[in-house]
Amino acid sequence: MPELPEVETVVRELRPQLVGRRITALEVSRHRLRRPWSADWLPQLIGRRITAVRRRGKWIILELADDQHFVLHLGMTGQLRLHPALEQLAAHTHLIARLDGGRKQLRFRDVRRFGCALWFGSRKLLEEFFKEARLGPEPFAVDSRYWRQQLARTKRCLKAVLLDQRVLAGIGNIYADEALFQARIHPAKLAKDSSGAESARLRQAVTQVLNRAIARRGSSIRDYVDGSGRQGEYQKEFRVYGRAGQPCPRCRGPIERIRLAGRSTYFCPRCQPLRLKKESARSSDTSQKRAIGP
């Protein structure tokens, strides 16, 4: 699934190509996505000029004239690219926005159809949507006090906290594992047992890993390509994710895979030892045994 670095890359690629262009026509497929198409908003977009392209969490926001907002989520396999109008239409293309009188087309392709497209008639309505979704702050601007409080108040493991979009917006499975490895913290460690130093290390590791991934245009594992159709490069630099049984880049011990928060989780048991507080050890052992599966 595209995470923050992939979505940010698409936004940076599309911004100079889209800002100033006008949507002259809009077509949607007969297949519904994660959310059904709404006939109400289609006419609202036609004829409006794109004034800004930005990101919030894993959402792509096209700001239009007259305070209109067209918002897309890539889901698991979504691709958002600008194409020449005469270029052949790829299978699983579910939305076509014709630009500049039809010379260019912004196409949204989604094989598994877990993505979606929404319209909001004002910034206020858009912000209310994110508020109702309880979308957390961006990782780059998270306050250290807020972060420490979030960890202290939950009995969940750190991997689960990082995946929770209500705590931090945009982080998914790949970058949670990579950040925990960089911070040298076991993913099964209970968040409330994290020391102040561990909390600070993890917060810093999250931003460093995300920035490195953005610089490499994200990670292409299956379907992801950026706004120009290029694959990302960060998958070549994974230290633990997807590397079960391979040597750790630090200690050369084998990377292990367990299941936490319903997701495959990769870590180095030597570099990320699980040190438990006495009062938490028994409960954590029980929860980890339940989490680890075949």
Residue 180 · residue 143 · CB < 8 Å: no
Q: How many structural domains compose the chain?
A: 2
User: Is 100 in the same domain as 171?
Assistant: no
Pairing of β 78-84 and β 23-28: unpaired
Q: Which of 132, 148, 171 is the last residue of a domain?
A: 132
At residue 276, the pLDDT reads 65
Question: 3-class DSSP state for residue 150?
Answer: helix
Other residues' Cβ atoms within 10 Å of the Cβ of residue 254: 14
36 annotated active-site? no
Range of the domain at 97: 4-132
In 3D space, the residue among 80, 99, 90, 94 whose CA is nearest the CA of residue 23 turns out to be 99
Considering the domain architecture, whether residues 110 and 220 belong to the same structural domain is answered as no
Identify the pLDDT of residue 294. Answer: 29
pLDDT at position 278: 55
DSSP 254: B
Other C-beta atoms lying within 10 Å of the C-beta of residue 219: 25
Q: Are residues 266 and 151 in the same domain?
A: yes
Active site residue 263: yes
Side-chain-side CA neighbours of 266 within 13 Å: the count stands at 21
Beta-bridged to residue 158, according to DSSP, are none
The CA distance from 134 to 208, in Å, is: 25
Catalytic annotation, pick one of 2, 5, 139, 187:
2
pTM over 0.75: yes
CATH code of the domain containing 51? 3.20.190.10
Residue after which a domain boundary falls, among 98, 116, 132: 132
Clarify whether residues 127 and 145 are in a common domain.
no
Statement to judge: residues 127 and 143 lie in one domain: no
pLDDT 10s digit of each residue in the chain, 294 long? 799 999 999 999 999 999 999 999 999 988 889 888 877 788 889 999 999 999 999 999 999 999 999 999 999 999 999 999 999 999 999 999 999 888 899 999 999 999 999 999 999 999 999 999 999 999 998 999 999 999 999 999 999 999 999 999 999 999 999 999 999 999 999 999 999 999 999 999 999 999 999 999 999 887 788 888 888 899 999 999 999 999 999 999 999 999 999 999 999 999 999 976 654 445 444 444 433 332
Q: Which of 131, 113, 145, 141 is nearest to 37 (CA)?
A: 113
Residue where one domain finishes, among candidates 103, 132, 161: 132
**Cα-based torsion angle of the residue sequence 222, 118, 61, 94 in order, rounded to the nearest 10 degrees:** 40
Same domain assignment for residues 125 and 72: yes
Q: What angle do CA 50, 51, 56 make, to 5 degrees?
A: 95
Catalytic hit among 55, 58, 159, 201: 58
Are 192 and 154 a contacting pair, CB within 8 Å?
A: yes
Assess whether 89 and 182 both reside in one domain.
no
Q: Determine which one of 12, 148, 192, 263 is catalytic.
A: 263
State residue 152's pLDDT score. Answer: 96
Whether residues 85 and 156 share a domain: the answer is no
pLDDT for the residue numbered 293: 34
Q: Do 201 and 184 touch, CB atoms closer than 8 A?
A: yes
Is 269 annotated in the active site? Answer: no
**3-class SS at 177?**
helix
Is residue 43 among the annotated active site residues? no
User: Does 80 share its domain with 155?
Assistant: no
Q: Choosing from 3, 6, 63, 198, which is the catalytic residue?
A: 3
Query: Domain with 275 in it: what CATH number?
Result: 1.10.8.50
